[in-house]
Every structure is written in C-alpha cells, then in structure tokens.
Amino acid sequence: MASREQFSSKTGFVMAAAGSAIGLGNIWGFPTQTASNGGAAFVMMYFLLAFCLAYPALMAELVIGRHARANIVTALRHVAPSKPTRFLGTFIGVYGVIVASLILAFYGIVAGWMMTYLGASITDLFQWNEASQWLTSFGFTRNIIAMGIFMVLTIAIIASGIQGGIERWSTRLMPMLMLILVALILYVLTQDGAKEGLKVYLIPDFSQIKPSLILDAMGQAFFSLSLGVGTMLVYGSYLSDKEDLPKLGAIVTLTDSGIAFIAGLLIIPAIYVAQAHGTSIFSESGTLIAGPDLIFQVLPSLFNSMGGIGPYVALAFFILMTIASLTSSISMLEVPVSLASEETNATRRQATWLIGGVIFVCSALILLNFELLFTLVIDFTTVYSQPLLGVLLCVFVGWIWHRNSLLNALKAGSPHLEQSLFWKIWPVYVKFFCPLLILATFIQSIIG
C-alpha cells in the first residue's frame, strides 16, 4: 500500500482544521444567531458550550483519527473490540459520511450565492447593470451554475491531495481571510450607527437564556467546529504522532471561537450602520432580519449607500465569504473521498470527481425542490444529526474503545500530559458528561 499522506507541519494542520471550522457558520451563522437570540447572552452561552462541550468532542474525533489513521468508517471499526461494536462503528461512520455529503450539498448552494454577489460587485464597478441584475436575482440557472463552479473548485483542491491540495490552499487562504475581516471591521466601526450595534452585541440580556437558546448555541458550536461527521477525525488522521493533540485541538477551538467573535464585531454593527443609512433592519414581525435577507439585501443596500467605495467594500466582503466557504467545503468532501479512496480501488482523483458529481446532483435536486428541501436538509444535518453523531462518537471513545489503548493514543506526542488537568478530567468527561449534556439539551428543547 502506498504510504499515507500527512500534513507537513503543525501549522499546516492548524490552518486546515481552522479553515474547516471557520466558515459561513462563523461569519454569518454566529452573528445572526447572536442578534436574534439576545445578543451577548447568546455569546456567553456559545463560548461556554464551545469549550466545555465541543472541545472535548473535537478531541474525541482527533484522537480516533490519529490513532487509526483512516477515514471515519474504517477508523471506528479499527478501534471497536468486537463484532457488534464494529457493526455500530460502521453505522456511525456511514451516517457521518452521508451527513457530511448532505452538508456540502446545501453549503455549495449558499457558497454559490456568495460567488454570484462577488461577481456582481465586479460588474457593478464597470456598471454592467444587466449582468449585476442577473447575478443578484434568485433563479435556477444562476443558482446551479454558481453552485457548479464552486463544486469544481472544491473538487480540484481535494483531488490534489493533502499537502498539495488541502494544506496548500488552507495556508494561502486563511491569512487572506483574516486580513480582509480585520480591514472590514476597521472600516465598519468608523461608520454612523456602529456603536448601537456594538451595544446589542456586547451587553447581555440574561432574560433571553431559555432552552431553545441553549439548543441553538449547541448546534452552532457543533456546526462551527465541523463536528460529528468525521471531518476532524480524518484531518486528525493526517497528523503526525509527534504532535500534542490536546494543545492543537485547543488552538483550533480558540481560533474558531475567536473568529466567530470577531465576525460579530463586523456583522452586527454593519446591520445598525445599514439602519443609519435608511435600510429597514426589522422584519414584519418586528424581529431583526437575520437569514439570507441580511446578507443578500441589508448588507448590499448598505454597500450601495456608501458611494464610490461601496463596490470595493462589497467585493472584499464577498471574497471573504467565498474563501471561508471553500476552506470548509473541502473538508466536507474529504470525508466521503477518504472512505472511497481507502476502501475501493479507485484513485483519489477518480473518487473525488465521482463523489463530487453525486453531491452536485444532490444540490441540483435541492435547488429543484427548494421550498421543500433546503431547510429540511439543513435541519436534518446540522440541528439533529451533528449533535447526535457527537453523542455517538463520545460513547464510542468513552465506552467502546479499550481504555488503555485510548490513553496511549492520547499521550503520543504529549510527554507531560499525565500531569495535566486535561488527563484527569477528559476521559471521564467524554464518557459521562458530554453525552448526557448533549442529550439533556435535546430533550429539554423537545419538551420546551
């Protein structure tokens, strides 16, 4: 068997994993959930859950992946000690692969929209009004072309492998993303109305903390850290045994939450700047506009009202969104591709194009039945499946995998781990606390 590729360095891994984590979930999802869930109260709950729940779950994925050095299905079968548990491993793995692929199917559609608005900010610069009009109007042809182009970019990167594809593009794109984000924040914060937005973002209203808020914050944390579906597991499988897993996991969690927080400093003030420029920011029911209308109506009308600099700000913003989407979408595609290329005779390139093609067809079906399927697929994958898979993976690590083998796998690369708090807490925590907390949040939200 050809030797398995690995990331060339710690930085390569951190860029790739942070690239997966940082996406539309951070720059769009987090700020808008915050704005519609009572501002800073949501932010605090989110941070609590990101570190106390999502980080331990992330560690579970990384440690399985690095130990088994395989895709999610093979890895879970590898650590399972008996026939029934191997069967369970296959079930969880296949469920994860399906969910990762379905997430890509809807994510590719949304990323396609980011690209059409990116295109429109260029056509605006040249005053090609008809082209801008077409690019910003919702229609099947526009949607499918944009999604198709985005899928081809995702496929091209994944077909080039770990170092030549994922690592190379994540290390190029992530610094660009951060630069654009900071430049945009500095600009928006100097505009009228920004202060009002900062207040909403940073002053908590604790009366807003209710079960539905906790479920939203949990779903958001799992989505943002790309958990449950095997993305982090497979990225962990390309990491050397010499690296300190708990530390790298903590860096990824911190970077992801940090960028979400920083993105809030852009989006929420921008909403109020738009209001200061005369755009209505409340829907008919009196709540703040949060969904697609925010990104595709409120912000563009803000950019339009900015005069000559507007199209450039719009360009920077939609490049930011496209980069964020691409470094995440490649990680989703890696989940089924790693399974197919490791478990069949197909080459990586063949597997990537074939699976990318199937996911393209799924996206096309969603576009054809948009009203029915779009939110259904999002809810099935992100609200329910990701946390549920998170529980199953914690159970796998805490209850099924042989404890000594788990602890040895955890220790590799961290010579002083046995003296740390992490060592004392995590194995028990992931066994009892994580699955129970996730389940309790679920049940709470169902019984209201």
Binding-site ranges for ligand PFF (CB under 6 A): 20-21, 23-26, 100, 103, 223-224, 226, 229, 231, 328, 331-332
Phi first, then psi: what are they for 245, rounded to 5°? -60, -50
Calpha distance 215→217 (Å, rounded): 5
Is 149:115 a contact under the CB 8 Å cutoff?
Answer: yes
Taking the least distance from each CB to ligand PFF, the nearer of 59 and 229 is 229
Taking the least distance from each CB to ligand PFF, the nearer of 225 and 289 is 225
Taking the least distance from each CB to ligand PFF, the nearer of 23 and 65 is 23
Q: CA of 64: how far to CAs of 4, 69, 157, in Å?
A: 16, 8, 25
Cβ 328 to ligand PFF shortest distance, Å? 4
Buried b (16+ CB within 10 A) or exposed e, 228-256: bbbbbbbbbbbbeeebbbbebbbbbbebb
Calpha distance 349→335 (Å, rounded): 14
| DSSP helix/strand/coil, 317 | helix
Taking the least distance from each CB to ligand PFF, the nearer of 37 and 275 is 37
Cβ 184 to ligand PFF shortest distance, Å? 18
Cβ neighbors of 213 (< 8 A, separation 6 or more) are 37, 38, 41, 42, 45
Cβ 27 to ligand PFF shortest distance, Å? 8
Cβ 411 to ligand PFF shortest distance, Å? 27
Calpha distance 348→158 (Å, rounded): 9
Taking the least distance from each CB to ligand PFF, the nearer of 103 and 273 is 103
Taking the least distance from each CB to ligand PFF, the nearer of 73 and 274 is 73
Cβ 30 to ligand PFF shortest distance, Å? 8
One-letter amino acid at 393 equals L
Cβ 275 to ligand PFF shortest distance, Å? 26
Is 36:287 a contact under the CB 8 Å cutoff?
Answer: yes
Taking the least distance from each CB to ligand PFF, the nearer of 61 and 342 is 61
Cβ 322 to ligand PFF shortest distance, Å? 13
User: Helix 83-125 vs helix 348-368: angle between axes, to the nearest 10 degrees?
Assistant: 70
| DSSP helix/strand/coil, 205 | coil
Cβ 378 to ligand PFF shortest distance, Å? 11
For residue 332, which of 301, 355, 306, 364 has the smallest C-alpha distance? 355
User: Residue 330 corresponds to which tokens in the numbers above?
Assistant: 């490649």
Taking the least distance from each CB to ligand PFF, the nearer of 160 and 328 is 328
Cβ 96 to ligand PFF shortest distance, Å? 9
User: Residue 75 corresponds to which tokens in the numbers above?
Assistant: 């890895």
414 C-beta neighbours (distance < 10 Å), count: 18
Is 272:196 a contact under the CB 8 Å cutoff?
Answer: yes
Taking the least distance from each CB to ligand PFF, the nearer of 184 and 389 is 389
Calpha distance 100→226 (Å, rounded): 9
Taking the least distance from each CB to ligand PFF, the nearer of 104 and 273 is 104
Taking the least distance from each CB to ligand PFF, the nearer of 266 and 274 is 266
Cβ 29 to ligand PFF shortest distance, Å? 6
For residue 356, which of 341, 334, 386 has the smallest C-alpha distance? 334
For residue 322, which of 111, 168, 8 has the smallest C-alpha distance? 111
Calpha distance 342→225 (Å, rounded): 25
For the four alpha carbons of 166, 167, 173 and 178, in that order, the dihedral sign comes to positive
Taking the least distance from each CB to ligand PFF, the nearer of 171 and 224 is 224
Cβ 100 to ligand PFF shortest distance, Å? 5
Cβ 307 to ligand PFF shortest distance, Å? 32
One-letter amino acid at 168 equals R
